[in-house]
Amino acid sequence: MFFRACFLLSATLLISTSLSAQHFALSRLFYPNATLRADYMPEANMGNNQRYGLSRTSFNGIIPLRSEVDVSFSLRKKFDLRARHFLMLANVSQLKPTQNGIITPDNGYKTASVGVLMLQASLRDRLWIYGGGLGVTESNETFFTPQPFFWGGAARMRILGIHTQIAYGTAVIYNQKFRLIPVFGLNKRLGKQWRVSALLPFRLDVNRRFNEWFNIDMIGAFDGYSGGFQQVMNAEKMFRRSNYQHVKLSVAANAHLFTVFNVSLEAGLGTFRQLRTFNSAHENLITQKPNIAPFIGASVRYITSKSKMSNQFTKKLGLGGESGINW
């Protein structure tokens, strides 16, 4: 899934993935947590007596692997202190695109991916973030049309002040073809209650915090999917690829409950929608543009073992604490 891979990489370059309605939090990278999410977008007209809709369910997990600190001396006898933190990102999703009330391709798509992220901080090189991962998208009707994808990249993160951080880097994505994508991240606190976070060109988030357990997000995000399927024509099976994209504009309400749970409800509009179908030679067969449609989403994140030390550290730096739960 090209769009999922792009979003996962861009998100991890600044804070974390794989991808919507939450304020970004660096502290989340230092303790295990898992998120379940469901989205529904009803069918909307796209011409030629055709209507298109989409639903998606997903599981996302972040698992810290290890942290280490070492001391080194260069050939010029310069001292350097370096700290590294490794974590694993995992995603499993089910997508069900519908046309005129019928799931197409049969039973939709399934996708799974895994990636590794490393945060490295040193006295000499400051803060760098490296990541890479791979996955596969497959139609649920068969195991013979897999669409592999992988991603990798690096970004430099700069702390401009207690409440301001930026990140800039480059991502390399493969899904049907190679793409080189520059990314830029911003995390800016505005007073005690407002924060702006961006993962351009994929996402912009404005967060309003009311208290320790409740906040809202105003979101603009680029999203979609890409997968392969078989089309039966005159008793002949032909391989096809489907590519869908949209821009989401939404508002999400996030609640932190019972210490270990974050619950989020999101509603908004899907705009600038486009659905394209390709043949096995990557030739575009048809381009359709569904009308603007509303969507709703809900998710729950379970925090398995929160680290007080890492949470206090990131709060002191102004990198953000927990607020919201989506990917």
pLDDT tens by residue, 252-274: 999 988 878 899 999 999 999 99
Instruction: State the amino acid at position 303 in one-letter form.
Output: I
Instruction: From 25, 87, 61, 12, select the one nearest 254 (Cα to Cα).
Output: 25
Predicted TM-score (pTM) of the model is: 0.79
pLDDT tens by residue, 62-100: 888 887 777 766 666 566 677 888 999 999 999 999 999
pLDDT tens by residue, 261-310: 899 999 999 999 999 988 877 888 899 999 999 999 999 998 875 555 45
Task: Provide the pLDDT for residue 16.
Answer: 34
Residue 47 in any domain: the answer is yes
Residue 196 in any domain: the answer is yes
* CB burial string 81-111: b at 16+ within 10 A, e below: eeebbbbebbbbbbbbbbbeeebbbeebbeb
- The residue segments making up the domain with residue 222 are 2-317
Residue 164's CATH number: 2.40.160
Residue 256 in any domain: the answer is yes
The model's confidence at residue 36, banded by pLDDT at 50, 70 and 90, is very high
Residue 46 in any domain: the answer is yes
Instruction: State the amino acid at position 3 in one-letter form.
Output: F
Residue 148 in any domain: the answer is yes
Residue 19 in any domain: the answer is yes
Whether the Cβ atoms of residue 140 and residue 106 lie closer than 8 Å to each other? yes
Number of domains the chain contains = 1
Residue 326 in any domain: the answer is no
- Residues 25, 43: Cα–Cα separation, whole Å: 34
Residue 325 in any domain: the answer is no
